[in-house]
Amino acid sequence: MSAVTVMTSKDEMKAVGTRPGSRDEGARLGFRLTLPAQILVLFISAFPLLMQLYISVTDWSPLSGTGWWNAWSMWNSFANYTDLAADARFWSALKRTAIVMIVCVPAEFLLGLALATLFADDFPGKRVFYSILLMPMMVVPAVAGYMFFMLFQSGGPVNDILSSLTGSPVTIAWLSDPTLALIAVMVADIWQWTPLMFLILLAGLVGVPEDQIKAATLLGANPWQRFVTIVLPKMKTIIIIALAIRVIENFKIFDTLYIMTGGGPGVATETISVYIYKLTTQDLIWGYVAAIALAILVVLSIVAVFAMKRMARAREVAA
């Protein structure tokens, strides 16, 4: 990044870049070599997408008594999409998903960044803490869900700790209160995914050139100034990647949450994934599910494209 390179002569530079046809030939060979893989990828991504698109404009369900390929007979002229626009439960699930994301992702980011900053320096017992810190990420989400389900029972450890802290018995019914249940599932998500944020951000942090930080110090910058003017700008790309990964993942939040609350009480913790799951397994209206899933995919794709654009620009800036 900051390595100093000197071209000995312009001719030498030219010679590397423009050997006649070499780049084109390389590209062609690369294309031929990856062709089988590309066909495979195209098939496994394009086929389900087209199938989904097809089903989403029909009333087809597994109980229709006919294969999905015959769904054209149940064509309902985009009724699924108009229903979707009017589906209050869908919009509230979407809003809830957004709330969870707006709370969890920044919390995970800030915690992860703080931990990464801590772990960028040496301290006694660092390796042990490092291992412990990464453990939540390795716990199977379903197990984590069950763990938090137990923790948040009204006779569970969370209330026990609160009791001993306040001195009077606390029996909060965490998972049956609409607001507290949402908080509980967010706590579980933050617990499980902060380590990933930490890991990615630590990788970015140790990649910040040491000598530039030293140079800033010698020029009189205090630790906070160094962090803001050198460390953060250098980490921009990796921060965007970390946020993009977590935004996309968090949007699909399901397993831990479903085991803890099943989307309840009522629909108080029902996110998009939970709603889709219920529609799929309980209501069995697959045409409608396909329409929702497609709509979500479009939204997420827009987010991803935006993130990639920012990333490309950040890379240009930070290089």
Partner 1 sequence: MSAIHLQNLVKKFGDFTALKTMDLAIADGEFMALLGPSGCGKSTTMNMIAGMEEPTGGKILFGERDMAGVPMGRRGVGFVFQNYAIFTHMTVRQNLAYGPKMRGAAKAEIDRRVGAIAEMLQLTPLLDRKADRLSVNILQRVAIGRSAIMEPAIFLLDEPLSNVDAAFRAVMRTELKQLQRQFRQTMVYVTHDQLEAMTMADRIAVMDHGVLQQVGTPLEVYNDPANVFVARFIGAPGMNLLKGRPVESDRGLVVDLGPLGVTPPLPVELAAAMRGARGEVLYGFRPEQATLVQNGQGLAMPVTFVERIGARTIVHLGQGEAAVKTVFDNDVGLAIGDTAVIAPTTSSVRVFDAATGLAIKAG
Q: Does 220 bind partner 1 (CB under 8 A)?
A: yes
Q: Using the rule CB under 8 A, give the single segment among 18-26, 193-201, 207-215, 272-280 that binds partner 1.
A: 207-215
> Rg (Cα) of the chain, in Å, rounded?
26
H or E segment to which residue 198 belongs: helix 178-206
**Which one of 161, 225, 266, 304 is in contact with partner 1 (CB under 8 A)?**
225
Cβ–Cβ < 8 Å for 141, 227? no
Q: Does 298 bind partner 1 (CB under 8 A)?
A: no
Listed in sequence order, the residues at least 6 apart from 171 whose beta carbon sits closer than 8 Å to its beta carbon are 154, 155, 159
* Amino acid identity at 249: E
Cβ–Cβ < 8 Å for 259, 152? no
CB 12 → partner 1: shortest distance, Å?
11
- CA–CA gap between residue 233 and residue 213 (Å, rounded): 12
Task: Sketch the per residue contact string, 2 through 41, with partner 1: x for CB under 8 A, - otherwise.
Answer: xxxxx-x---------------------------------
Reference 120, options 12, 4, 207; nearest CA is 207
Q: Which CB atom, from 6 or from 138, has the smaller least distance to partner 1?
A: 6
Q: Does 126 bind partner 1 (CB under 8 A)?
A: no
Q: Does 233 bind partner 1 (CB under 8 A)?
A: yes
* Amino acid identity at 173: A
Q: Which CB atom, from 5 or from 282, has the smaller least distance to partner 1?
A: 5
Q: Which CB atom, from 8 or from 282, has the smaller least distance to partner 1?
A: 8
- CA–CA gap between residue 163 and residue 268 (Å, rounded): 26
- CA–CA gap between residue 66 and residue 60 (Å, rounded): 9
Q: Does 203 bind partner 1 (CB under 8 A)?
A: no
Q: Which CB atom, from 89 or from 214, has the smaller least distance to partner 1?
A: 214
Q: What residues line the site for partner 1 (CB under 8 A)?
A: 1-6, 8, 209, 211-212, 214-222, 225, 229-230, 233-234, 317-319
